[in-house]
Amino acid sequence: MTLYTLITGASSGIGLELAKIFAENGHPLILTARSTDRLEAIAKELRSRFDIEIHVIPADLSQPQAPKKLYDTIKRKKLAVENLVNNAGIATHGPFIDTPWEQERGMLQLNIVSLIELTHLFLPQMKERRSGSILNVASTAGFQPGPYMTNYYASKSHVLFFSEGLAVELKPHRISVTVLCPGPTETPFFDAAGMRDTQLVNSPLVMSAEKVARIGYDAWLRKKLIVIPGFVNWFMATTVGLMPRFAVRALVGYLNR
Ligand SMILES: NC(=O)c1ccc[n+]([C@@H]2O[C@H](COP(=O)([O-])OP(=O)(O)OC[C@H]3O[C@@H](n4cnc5c(N)ncnc54)[C@H](OP(=O)(O)O)[C@@H]3O)[C@@H](O)[C@H]2O)c1
């Protein structure tokens, strides 16, 4: 039976780089995002370079019915998912009070609810096979509160804590969980969130999507639970608890403004 790796948000940035790395390592793929044409072009290129099976199934995961619809389509096509890469995510940026609710709702649905529902839908088949993996993309944002991206930071905390708890529950079933927590990474994400002129995006901490994806893939391969690419990102995320919380809030608010 062919076992597939399903990657959400595979049309650009970190998800696209992960798709390339999984493909070059011979994994048959199911790619999803909203941009059908981009996904088809990526699939065509990867098929020709690596001679692997790739299915494209577009979905708008900010819609509440989308995860079940995606799951049903994959089931109808009789494709088995061995590895689930929950990468798709967006950010809202600016004072929470000023952001349109539809944007905040869509982000919560995409970053949290769809990620968790897809995990819930695909886990039973992994449990039955006694093998499988989940690779969730959170962020260094998940380690502390983030004024002016308040709901985004909180959404990534949810993904981080969800992944850590789940890893313990799934160990007896031989299903691994990895949570990739990148710091600022050069992708269209900054433009989509309208945050090109922030201190954070213009800091020397920014890494390439390819490097972040490679570090994430290697950690996934080693079944490492939490991976934070880049020494400074790692140091800040792991020592943030030692700083007074008021200072953390002030610093992150300054960086996000
Ligand atoms: N870039 C950073 O600085 C950074 C840092 C830490 C963590 N992250 C996380 O990394 C992940 C990937 O982000 P990225 O930086 O690679 O950004 P990106 O290049 O903008 O990619 C986001 C991906 O998500 C997809 N997507 C967006 N809205 C969607 C929707 N409603 N339904 C389905 N798919 C949707 C996009 O495809 P379509 O537009 O085609 O739908 C795209 O493939 C996110 O979870 C993000 O939070 C990013």
Question: What are the structural domain ranges in the chain?
Answer: 3-256
177, β-bridge pairs: 134
Q: How far apart are CA 189 and CA 212, in angstroms?
A: 14
Placement of tokens 């160990």 in the chain: 171
Ligand 1 within 6 A of CB of 185: yes
What pLDDT is attached to residue 201?
82
HSE-CB of 230 using CA atoms within 13 angstroms:
21
Task: Pick from 40, 87, 116, 208 the residue to mutate for probing ligand 1's pocket: most ligand atoms within 8 Å of its CB.
Answer: 87
pLDDT in 10s for each residue of the chain, 257 residues: 999 999 999 999 999 999 999 999 999 999 999 999 999 999 999 999 999 999 999 999 999 999 999 999 999 999 999 999 999 999 999 999 999 999 999 999 999 999 999 999 999 999 999 999 999 999 999 999 999 999 999 999 999 999 999 999 999 999 999 999 999 999 999 888 888 888 878 888 899 999 999 999 999 999 999 999 999 999 999 999 999 999 999 999 999 98
> How far away, in angstroms, is 85 Cα from ligand 1 center?
12
What pLDDT is attached to residue 38?
98
Q: How far apart are CA 39 and CA 51, in angstroms?
A: 17
What pLDDT is attached to residue 119?
98
Ligand 1 within 6 A of CB of 89: yes
Q: Which string of b and e fits 164-178 if b means at least 16 CB within 10 Å?
A: eebbeebeeeebbbb
Fold of 3-256: Rossmann fold (3.40.50)
What pLDDT is attached to residue 235?
97
SS (H, E, C) 186-201: ECCHHHHCCCCCCCCC
> How far away, in angstroms, is 231 Cα from ligand 1 center?
23
Placement of tokens 């919380």 in the chain: 245
What pLDDT is attached to residue 191?
87
